[in-house]
Structure 1
Amino acid sequence: MPLLTMNNAMLVVIDIQEKLLPAIHDGETMLLNAGRLAEAARLLDVPMVRTEQYPRGLGATVPALAEAGPAIAKMSFDACAEPAFLEAVAGDRELVVCGCEAHVCVGQTVMTLLEHRRRVVVVADAIGSRAPRSLETALSRMARHGAEIVTTEMVLFEWLRSAEHPQFKPISKLIR
C-alpha cells in the first residue's frame, strides 16, 4: 500500500464519549492522540466525521473532539449499519480510524468497511478498549483482514510529506 495522503483521507472518530472514556485503559493517551489527529486534519483540511454510540446513555463526544466533524448517533455497534455514516464516508477516500472500543465499535466498523473494499487505516495509539488484551486482539484481527495499522506520528508525517509543508511547524508542535 502506498503512503497516506492528506488529499485523499478522511478522519473517522468512533465513540470517544464522556461516559465511555473513563473506562478505557490508558484513555488519556488515546484521547491525546485522537486530538492530535483531529487538529492535524483541521489544519490540513482533511474531512472528519465522528460517531456517538447511544448518546443518551453514553453522553456526547468529549469536548476536546466536539469539532471533529459532524456527529452521527447510532445504536448499532457497527457504524456502517447507520445510513448517515455510509453517506458521510461515501467515495474512495482512505479512512483513518481512531476511537473506542477497539474490539466492539471500531472493530465491527472496520471489518465492514474492509468488506466494502475500502482502504482502512487504524491508528493503534489512538484507539482503546477497557482491557489491553481486547485492544491487542482487535488490532491483530483487523490487520489480518486487511486494515493497515499505524501510529499517530506516521499519519501526521505521511500527510505532511516534507518539512517544507506550510503546516509543518504547527503540526510538529502537536507531538512535542
Structure 2
Amino acid sequence: MNSVCDIQERFRTVIYEFPKLITTSTKLLKATTPLSIPIYITTQSRAKLGNTISELTPYLDASTNPNVRADLDKTLFSMITPDLKALLPTEKPLDAIIIGLETHVCVTQTTLDLLSLGHRVYIVADGVSSVNPEERSVALERLRDAGATITTSESLLFEVLGDAGHEGFREVSRLVKETGGETKEALKAFCGGSKI
C-alpha cells in the first residue's frame, strides 16, 4: 500500500524542499498503476490546512484510479484512524510505503502504529519532509530503530518489481529514466549530508 500522508496546500510554503517532495511523490504515484499498488490518502484537518496539493490529484481520483482505496480527513496525527484501519486488509502483514508530511509528527505516528499492528513499513527518504530538516533526520533515525525500512524511491520501485520480467518493468523503468534528474536533486536535498 502507498500511504500519502497529509501533503496539503497549507504546507507548500513552509516545508523543507517541498517541490522535491512533490516530484518524488508524483513518480511513486505514477508507478502505482503498473505495479498495482493500493493508495491510501489522508489530510490533516482539511478545512484548516487545505486539500491534498493539486499536482497529485490526477493520480488520487478514485473515479479514475482503481488503486485508490481511501481518501480520509483526520484530526489524529497518525493516518491509522479507526476508519482507515477498518479498510486495511487483515489476512496478512502489509508492506506499507509512506510518503508525506511531517516526518517527525504524522509520518512517525503512522509508522509506529503500522509497526505495532505487525506490518512492514518502508519510508521513502526522498518522499518525506518537515518544516525543519533536522526534525526529519532525527525522525528517520528513530523510525529505523523502531523497525521501519528507510529507502529511496528508485530503490523501492525496483524492489517492488523484483524481476525485469515483471509486466510493469518497462513502464517503471521508463519512469525512472524520465525522472532521473529530479530524483538526483531530491536525493541531494534529502539525503546528501545526513546520516539516515
Could you tell me the TM-score, scaled by structure 2's length?
A: 0.80
> Which amino acid in 1 is paired with 2:79?
A
2:76 maps to amino acid: S
1:98 aligns with 2:83: no
Q: 1:30 pairs with 21, 27, 34, which one?
A: 21
Query: After superposition, what is the alpha-carbon deviation per residue over 1:62-113, rounded to whole angstroms, capped at 9, x for unaligned?
Result: 1232233231100111222x21111233422211111110001111111121
Superposed CA offset, 1:23-52 (max 9, x none):
110111111111111111122211111110
What pairs with 1:3-152 in structure 2 (closer than 5 Å)?
A: 10-66=1-57, 67-68=59-60, 69=68, 70-80=70-80, 82-91=81-90, 92-152=93-153
Aligned-pair RMSD on alpha carbons? 1.4
Q: Equivalents in 2 of 1:75, 1:60: separation in Å?
A: 14
Partners of 1:99 and 1:126 within 8 A in 2: yes
Q: Distance in 2 between matches of 1:118 and 1:162?
A: 23
For structure 2, list consecutive stretches of 5 or more residues without a partner in the other structure: 61-67, 178-196
Give the aligned residue type for 1:150.
T
Q: Extract unaligned runs of 5+ from structure 1.
A: 1-9
Q: TM-score, normalised by structure 1?
A: 0.88
TM-superposed deviation, 1:21? 2.8
- Partners of 1:131 and 1:54 lie apart in 2 by 21
Q: Secondary structure at the match of 1:64?
A: coil
CA–CA distance in structure 1, aligned partners of residues 120 and 165 of structure 2: 27
SS of 2:55's equivalent in the other structure is helix
Q: Percent identity?
A: 33
Flag the structure with larger Rg: 2
